[in-house]
């Protein structure tokens, strides 16, 4: 510790006061006694105490050496070795994956090893079986992880093929250090026919025809012919032959299939292999489609034709899971499906100028969710208070109203951008009068009269004592909202989401089950199968006192048993990654000595992204190496030896400048916290006391 490291930042008068205090107390006791040793001890102790009162700080500097680091990144997807000579290619890649770190450490580098396929991860155990390659996210992950680190270079081993994420060459930012690439995979073009994509909807409805699109590609085989077969379940539903006219050809087949039974259905597309085809694994593709029995039935009942009705129908029809029907009041008696609706929308019904049809009066007393939309002629007083959640005596005059979002609304999430839209949307029109909402009404949008904000509901929702749900839109002219939003934003997505989320809430039901499970419906084989569960006691408070068991059953009848683990106030289960196929599950727990059971099903889709027949893209790696100031080190062929690995490491070492960085950290410590000062002061006082006692003093 140097004297210059002690810092005292106080004015001069405090120094003078400390000196006078120290000298004064020393002279007060020993002036004229000629006890020089005792005077010196007293003076030293008092000086130390006064100095500590000045709050001195000690500047402490520590240094840390950060060595030069090389980051080794390995592509762990299966396309590195699939194809001709797959076994020796995989063995060579495995050798380099295990030897690379040691070779760079021998050159006195700090080495960090990462693997990537779908995402970038630190090396735990080398496995080259990834089902996707996302080179772009790997490069950006390196940048995010090692920015401001002493990384001298990045060495990436890959085949240059990327089937996920952005373009690695033009859409990706990289760490500002040289990147070196080692090419893997086979650069030769093979003779092959493959199915690139099998496209279909995830959901369709019974007896509907759903579209299919199959995209195929050929390398070689010009002049020959191949046949495509399509199966729905075990039944062949379509087949077609294609003539190969080009060496590199692309083909598309579009068709429609009728859904004749409900449930999860598998669609299989296959191409009959040709003689000389080198890779047959990509001649097959599959997809799953769920066939449902029916859609949500929505009936709009209007007092008379109105642009609002068409706007509502257009918005609701965007949801393919909904059937929207429009009828007018004079058609209700002859409309056979009116009583079968899942949700009713009443536009200007009840009406002040016409009697309410008996069918509407009957519907008001049922459990059917209803959305009331009305303008100046809407007879709000005719609707039961408990049904709608508000009362209002409409006047004869009309007024224009705008809206502001109630950010305390919690029944569902409002569409993003709704508040900004409301600032310029044209006003709605309603009869004058003060709405009086009940405590059960939840307002999504409040009314605004010019610049005056109110707590009157413009769009709101009510749930009565027996659980019936209703909604209100207190004004007509919402068609202008949809049109103006389309002009301003280029589409009507915000308005459409507002209407569809409102209808989805009205048609939902409160889940009062004491045992609930959230399970996947469909996922791909490279995703983990995750379940979450919740158990409630008799008061519907979450509890973790129960055990939950789950049994997975494969399509071949094989069963797998799992137990949920506690996660806070709920339960979770990670079944890991499962092979492609259809699975059903059943779960059970015991509540109040009664066994509660739940069942479900899901599908795991096969991922064939790595089975494409493209040749390894080493040209991309060369361009990226040049762009970052690095170098393409060469190819990893079907053989690996130590000389090859040493050559890779030495070329990197010659290209970069090794430089360790010294980081200095300075901190200021309060001197009063050092314990040795306490012991010095205590020792001085003790020594003074002992000497005075031996001399007969006090």
Pair 131, 212 in one domain? no
**Domain co-membership, 341 together with 490:** yes
Q: How many CA atoms lie within 13 A of 681 on its CB side?
A: 14
**Cα(610)–Cα(86) distance, rounded to whole angstroms?**
14
Of the listed ranges 76-90, 249-263, 379-393, the one predicted with least confidence: 76-90
Residue 530 forms part of a structural domain: yes
Instruction: Tell me what the pLDDT averaged over the chain comes to.
Output: 88
Q: Which helix (H) or strand (E) holds 314?
A: helix 307-317
Mean pLDDT of the region 408-431: 90
Identify the sign of the CA torsion 167, 170, 175, 177: positive
Q: Domain with 450 in it: what CATH number? A: 3.40.50.880
pLDDT in tens, 127-155: 888 888 889 999 999 999 999 899 999 99
| DSSP letter (8 states) at residue 298 | E
In a domain, 646, yes or no: yes
CATH number at residue 79: 3.40.50.410
- Domain closes at, from 229, 257, 292: 292
- 317, 365: one domain: yes
User: For residue 613, what pLDDT is reported?
Assistant: 64
How would residue 302 be classed by pLDDT, with cut points 50, 70 and 90? very high
What domain count does the chain have?
Answer: 5
Q: How far is CA 41 from the centre of its chain?
A: 70
> β-strand 542-543 against 530-536: which pairing, if any?
antiparallel
State the maximum Cα–Cα separation within the chain, in Å, rounded to a whole number.
126
The verdict on residue 610 lying in a domain is no
Task: Verify that 400 and 446 share a domain, yes or no.
Answer: yes
The token pair at 592 is 């109040």
pLDDT in tens, 472-501: 999 999 999 999 999 988 899 999 999 999
Does 270 share its domain with 300?
no
User: Which of 479, 507, 535 is the last residue in one of the domains?
Assistant: 507
497 and 443 housed in the same domain: yes
My answer on whether 690 and 568 are in the same domain is no
Give domain status of residue 647, yes or no.
yes
Same domain, 403 and 538: no
Tell me, yes or no, whether 55 and 166 share the same domain: no
The answer, yes or no, to whether residue 585 has pLDDT greater than 90, is: yes
Same domain, 334 and 421: yes
Residue-wise pLDDT for 4-49, tens only, equals: 678 888 888 888 888 888 888 777 777 777 777 878 888 888 888 8
Residue 255 above 80 pLDDT?
A: yes
Cα→Cα distances 202→189, 295, 319, 577, Å: 35, 14, 14, 21
∠ CA 127-129-135, rounded to 5°? 95
In this predicted model, what pLDDT tens digit does every residue of 613-632 receive, in sequence order? 677 889 999 999 999 999 99
661 falls within a domain: no
Q: What mean pLDDT is predicted for residues 74-83?
A: 83
pLDDT band per the 50, 70, 90 thresholds, residue 336: low
User: Which H or E run contains 396?
Assistant: none
Residues 188-217: tens digit of each pLDDT: 777 888 898 898 888 888 888 889 999 999
Is residue 15, in this structure, part of any structural domain at all? yes
Residue 320 binned pLDDT confidence (cut-offs 50, 70, 90): confident
| Higher-confidence position of 510 and 627 | 627
Task: Give the model's pLDDT for residue 510.
Answer: 65
52 and 118, same domain (yes or no): no
114 lies in some domain? yes
Domain boundary among 605, 624, 643: 605
User: Could you read off the pLDDT of 662-689 as tens digits, one per residue?
Assistant: 888 888 888 888 888 888 888 888 887 8
Which residues constitute the domain of residue 221? Answer: 192-292
**585 assigned to some structural domain:** yes
Mean per-residue pLDDT for 436-460?
92
Lowest-confidence pick of 79-83, 357-361, 520-524: 79-83
Per-residue pLDDT band for 164 (boundaries 50, 70, 90) equals: confident
Residue 81 has a pLDDT of 79
- Residue 645 is encoded by which pair of tokens? 């690995």
Question: 487 with 562, same domain?
Answer: no
């Amino acid at each position: 510790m140097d004297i210059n490291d002690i810092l005292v930042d106080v004015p001069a008068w405090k120094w003078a006061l400390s000196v006078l205090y120290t000298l004064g107390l020393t002279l007060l006791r020993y002036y004229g006694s000629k006890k020089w040793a005792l005077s010196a001890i007293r003076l030293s102790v008092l000086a130390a105490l006064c100095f500590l009162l000045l709050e001195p700080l000690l500047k402490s500097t520590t240094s840390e050496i950060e060595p030069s680091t090389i980051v080794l990144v390995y592509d762990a997807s299966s396309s590195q070795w699939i194809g001709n000579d797959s076994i020796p290619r995989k063995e060579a890649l495995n050798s380099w994956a295990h030897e690379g770190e040691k070779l760079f450490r021998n050159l006195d580098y700090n080495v960090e090893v990462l693997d990537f396929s779908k995402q970038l991860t630190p090396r735990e155990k080398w496995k080259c079986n990834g089902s996707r390659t996302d080179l772009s996210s790997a490069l950006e992950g390196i940048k995010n992880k090692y920015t401001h680190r002493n990384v001298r270079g990045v060495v990436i081993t890959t085949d240059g093929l990327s089937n996920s994420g952005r373009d690695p060459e033009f859409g990706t930012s990289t760490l500002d250090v040289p990147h070196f690439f080692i090419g893997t995979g086979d650069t030769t073009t093979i003779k092959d026919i493959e199915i690139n994509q099998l496209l279909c909807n995830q959901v369709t409805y019974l007896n509907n025809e759903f579209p299919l699109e199959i995209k195929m590609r050929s390398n070689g085989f010009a002049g020959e012919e191949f046949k495509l077969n399509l199966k729905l379940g075990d039944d062949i539903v379509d087949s077609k032959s294609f003539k190969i006219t080009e060496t590199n050809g692309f083909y598309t087949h579009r068709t429609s299939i009728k859904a004749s039974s409900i449930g999860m259905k598998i669609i299989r597309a296959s191409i009959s292999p040709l003689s000389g085809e080198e890779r047959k694994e990509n001649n097959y593709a599959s997809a799953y489609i769920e066939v449902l029995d029916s859609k949500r039935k929505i009936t709009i009942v209007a007092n008379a034709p109105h642009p609002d009705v068409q706007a509502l129908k257009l918005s609701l029809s965007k949801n393919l899971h909904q059937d929207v029907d429009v009828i007018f009041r004079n058609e209700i008696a002859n409309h056979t499906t009116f009583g079968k609706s899942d949700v009713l929308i009443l536009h200007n019904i009840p009406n002040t100028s016409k009697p309410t049809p008996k069918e509407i009066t009957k519907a008001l007393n049922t459990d059917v969710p209803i959305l009331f939309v009305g303008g100046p002629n809407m007879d709000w007083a005719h609707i039961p208070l408990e049904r709608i959640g508000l009362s209002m005596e409409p006047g004869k005059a009309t007024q224009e109203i705008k809206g502001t979002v109630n950010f305390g609304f919690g029944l569902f999430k409002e569409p993003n951008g709704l508040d900004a839209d409301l600032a310029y949307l044209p006003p709605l029109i309603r009869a004058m009068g003060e709405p009086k909402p009940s405590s059960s009404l939840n307002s999504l949008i409040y009314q605004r009269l010019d610049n005056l904000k109110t707590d009157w509901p413009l769009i709101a929702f009510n749930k009565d004592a027996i659980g019936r749900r209703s909604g209100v839109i207190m004004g007509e002219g919402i068609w202008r909202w949809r049109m103006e939003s389309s002009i301003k934003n280029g589409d009507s997505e915000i308005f459409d989401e507002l209407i569809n989320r409102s209808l989805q809430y009205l048609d939902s039901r409160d889940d009062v089950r004491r045992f609930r499970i959230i399970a996947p419906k469909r996922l791909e084989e490279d995703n983990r199968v995750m379940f979450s569960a919740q158990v409630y006691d008799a008061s519907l408070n979450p509890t973790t006192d129960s055990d939950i068991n789950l049994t997975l059953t494969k399509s071949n009848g094989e069963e797998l048993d799992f137990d949920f683990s506690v996660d806070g106030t709920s339960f979770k289960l990670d079944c890991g990654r499962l092979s492609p196929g259809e699975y059903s599950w059943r779960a059970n727990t015991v509540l109040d000595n009664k066994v509660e059971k739940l069942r479900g099903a899901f599908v795991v889709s096969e991922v064939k992204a790595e089975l494409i027949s493209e040749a390894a893209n080493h040209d991309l790696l060369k361009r990226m190496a040049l762009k970052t100031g690095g170098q393409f080190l060469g190819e990893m062929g079907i053989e690996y030896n130590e000389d090859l690995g040493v050559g890779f490491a030495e070329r990197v070492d010659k290209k970069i400048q090794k430089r360790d960085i010294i980081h200095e950290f300075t901190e200021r410590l309060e001197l009063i916290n050092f314990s040795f000062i306490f012991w010095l002061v205590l020792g001085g006082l003790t020594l003074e006391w002992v000497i005075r006692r031996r001399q007969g003093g006090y």
